[in-house]
Amino acid sequence: MVMNTDEVLFYLAIYGGSPVRTKPWPGRSLLGAEERSAVNALFDEALSTGNAFGYNGPEEEAYCREFAEYMGGGYADAVNSGTTAVYTALRALNPEAFTEVIVSSITDPGGMMPIVLCNCIPVIADTAPGSYNVGPKQIEELISPLTSAILIAHIGGEPVDMEGIMAVARRHRIPVLEDCAQAHGAVLKGKKVGTFGDIAAFSTMFGKHHCTGGQGGVVYTRDAKLYQRIRWCSDRGKPLGLPDGSTNCTAALNLNLSDLSAAIGRVQLRKLPDIIRRRRDVAAAIIEGIKELKLVAVPDTLSGAEPSYWFLRLKFHVEAAACSKETYCQALAEEGIPVVASYRHLPHTMEWFTQRQVFGSSGLPWTSPLYLGNPDRVFTCLNAIAATDKQFNLRIHEGWGEEEIADTLMALKKLDEALKI
């Protein structure tokens, strides 16, 4: 919709005016004919040979090899979700039971629950001021003799300060797991996230930058020994790499991805660089277009960061506004723009954590006498709360074109004109 006059500009949809955007938003068009051909090829083979496709087959092997190549070398193991990727990676690090794992406060529950399922205690790190991501200072403050691992999530495709985190972790000799579920292909100072820490986990469910069909995940490392443990931990401890005659060497679930999903993932991996490029282009156009606005701005990002934008985070200047952020975001949504008003994703405030709902009514792992820390510790995470109070997300993606960018900018300008003090 074209809006030229000031009169229309001031007439907000939330007060009965015409929305900037009524046209449906384009889908991501993530899956296409190439993925269908890859899947059909597997079915054709199954039909002609009489043998079903399975797991740990040629497609998975190729997908893992290609994934590792995409990361610049190393080893990858495909698993069946991002949650199981985090779980497998943590299991591979083999933390002692009832030790502490420091974890990002803003993350998906699937990025935190694996800790308690490994019988470890989550210690929640606040974010760096103004950010959804943790910083080295917030991590270092929580390190104790009980700390066995650090689990860092790169939220929204924005790289965490991994150089700072690794300096802290190395100083204390603590392994680092990078949760890259939301940050495929994000780069910090020329290096992809997932290559800074000891091990990394990715989600490849259908909402992520690249997918392996509906569900999936990848565990990645550059360490051959760790890779071997990853394989044990994702498949019932099968004695991969152990002498003939060895038996299953650790208790673990079967978390394998299937060859069918891996075949889709291989096609998707080829599309991934272009998907990231287009997301960056959309973000760049919006960032450029809001420079003069009074009510919204781009929050500070890390120097040297090239986010892959799972979403675009924006800061709301409440002091310049005639309304709250919630009203602003509602007004933006009424203009037809896809917005998430608050990314208050704090898994430690949810019932599973506060009610210790893990192993029956035991309260384990927190209640174990073998845990030597304070099970009742409170994590206030004031920075995370402040960041999610003051910021909101635009749900941009690679399917956005000129029109979507123009509509978004028009709506943001319309709101700026109408709602600034």
Ligand X SMILES: Cc1ncc(COP(=O)(O)O)c(C=O)c1O
Q: Which residues bind ligand X (CB under 6 A)?
A: 81-83, 86, 107-108, 110-111, 153, 179, 181-182, 203, 205, 217
Query: Nearest to residue 143, comparing CAs of 119, 179, 161, 167?
Result: 167
In the complex, least distance from residue 192 CB atom to ligand X, rounded to whole angstroms? 16
* Helices 82-93 and 224-234, packing angle to 10 deg: 120
In the complex, least distance from residue 220 CB atom to ligand X, rounded to whole angstroms? 14
Taking the least distance from each CB to ligand X, the nearer of 212 and 228 is 212
Taking the least distance from each CB to ligand X, the nearer of 371 and 392 is 392
In the complex, least distance from residue 87 CB atom to ligand X, rounded to whole angstroms? 9
Taking the least distance from each CB to ligand X, the nearer of 214 and 375 is 214
Taking the least distance from each CB to ligand X, the nearer of 17 and 122 is 122
Number of residue whose CB is nearest ligand X: 82
Taking the least distance from each CB to ligand X, the nearer of 14 and 180 is 180
Residues 6+ apart with CB under 8 A from 128: 134, 135, 137, 138, 161, 383
In the complex, least distance from residue 351 CB atom to ligand X, rounded to whole angstroms? 18
Taking the least distance from each CB to ligand X, the nearer of 208 and 266 is 208
In the complex, least distance from residue 322 CB atom to ligand X, rounded to whole angstroms? 34
Taking the least distance from each CB to ligand X, the nearer of 86 and 226 is 86
In the complex, least distance from residue 97 CB atom to ligand X, rounded to whole angstroms? 22
End-to-end CA distance of the chain: 26
In the complex, least distance from residue 321 CB atom to ligand X, rounded to whole angstroms? 30
In the complex, least distance from residue 70 CB atom to ligand X, rounded to whole angstroms? 18
In the complex, least distance from residue 3 CB atom to ligand X, rounded to whole angstroms? 36
Taking the least distance from each CB to ligand X, the nearer of 328 and 343 is 343
Taking the least distance from each CB to ligand X, the nearer of 203 and 234 is 203
